[in-house]
Amino acid sequence: MRGTSPTRRAPLLAIYATLVFAFIYLPIVVLILYSFNRDGVGGFPPRQLTLDWYRQLFADGPLWDSVLNSLLVACGAVALSLALGLLAALALDRASFPGKALFRRLVLLPLILPGIITGLSLLMFVVFAGMQLSLLTVFLGHGTALISVATTEIFAGLQKLDRAQEEASLDLGATPWRTFWRITLPNLRLSLIAAGLLIFTLSMDEIAVTFFLLGRDNTLPLEIWARLRRGITPEINAISTLIFAVSVALIIVWYRIRMRSVGSGAQQLLERP
């Protein structure tokens, strides 16, 4: 029991770690501070704090329209990608069919593919299909591009599922259909929520794919980007601060759910003789 703390053993490492964290988080801190700064952007350190920028923000109709658009797209994308991802995960977990290995890779491809490629190819497809660019195309783009996220999360949930439970359900006289709704799906609840939250946040701040598929109605990130071309305004800092707060809240919720699902899985393992 010698009192050598990690910092004493490696002071350089500690300094390095501090610098990395500062590099990551300092800009966010500055952004949050500026959103309360009466002098707006510039003038550091802030001398007078104010909520004016937030008041201005809440009165900004077009900006809130874009927030609403983003929420619509994100909710739709969650529904679409969860539905399709669930089917893909079920196929990967329990069906065996020719070309399964290829299917697995294809489903996961959008995770690795640069957004610009996904966006461009979706645009080509939309043009080919003769569709008008609108929020609908953005929703379809997000929904399909994020299937891979849903598939991986749900597949992990299925792998943890105790198959004896489904057998018990069939054994008790439930049809496979009933078993799926009453046993399989409730057991995937945590995976579905976790995947949904992740897809929601990814869709909310998606730019690359959105850029190609956007019609006349802006989503929030693109509205912010458009305004930035006219210079940074304190109002942008205010909305960014709000986004940051909501994101942190969602991440905490997601993390808690993740821990619970992992925790219960570990518990089940321990209970097994």
Interatomic CA distance for residues 58 and 204, integer angstroms: 19
Confirm or reject binding of residue 109 to other proteins (CB under 8 A).
Answer: no
The strand ranges marked E within 153-196 are none
Nearer to other proteins, 5 or 267 (CB): 267
| CA distance linking residue 220 with residue 25, whole number of Å | 22
SS3 of 184, please?
helix
DSSP code at position 230 = T
175 touching other proteins, by CB under 8 A: yes
Q: Cα 70 vs. chain centroid, distance in angstroms?
A: 13
Residue 159 interacts with other proteins (CB under 8 A)?
no
Q: What does the alpha-carbon distance between residue 182 and residue 184 come to, in Å, rounded to a whole number?
A: 6
Q: C-beta of 200: minimal distance to other proteins in Å?
A: 24
One DSSP character per residue, 62-79 reads HHHHHHHHHHHHHHHHHH
- Shortest Å, Cβ 260 to other proteins: 12
Stretch that binds other proteins, among 7-15, 160-168, 220-228, 240-248 (CB under 8 A): 160-168
Which of 68, 117, 172, 253 touches other proteins by CB under 8 A?
172
Q: Select from 165, 246, 252, 260 the one that contacts other proteins (CB under 8 A).
A: 165
User: Which is closer to other proteins, CB of 138 or CB of 183?
Assistant: 183
- Is 164 an interacting residue with respect to other proteins (CB under 8 A)? yes
Calpha distance 177→195 (Å, rounded)? 23
Note whether 94 binds other proteins by CB under 8 A: no
Q: How far is the CB of 97 from other proteins (least distance, A)?
A: 19
Q: Does 148 bind other proteins (CB under 8 A)?
A: no
| Residue from 18, 68, 106, 162 in contact with other proteins (CB under 8 A) | 162
CA angle 33, 253, 139 (to 5 degrees): 85
Stretch that binds other proteins, among 107-115, 116-124, 144-152, 180-188 (CB under 8 A): 180-188
| Dist CA 78 CA 201 (whole Å) | 10
Token pair 């390095």 in the structure block, residue: 16
Residues of this chain that bind other proteins (CB under 8 A)? 162, 164-165, 167-176, 178, 182-183, 186-187, 189, 264, 267-268, 271-273
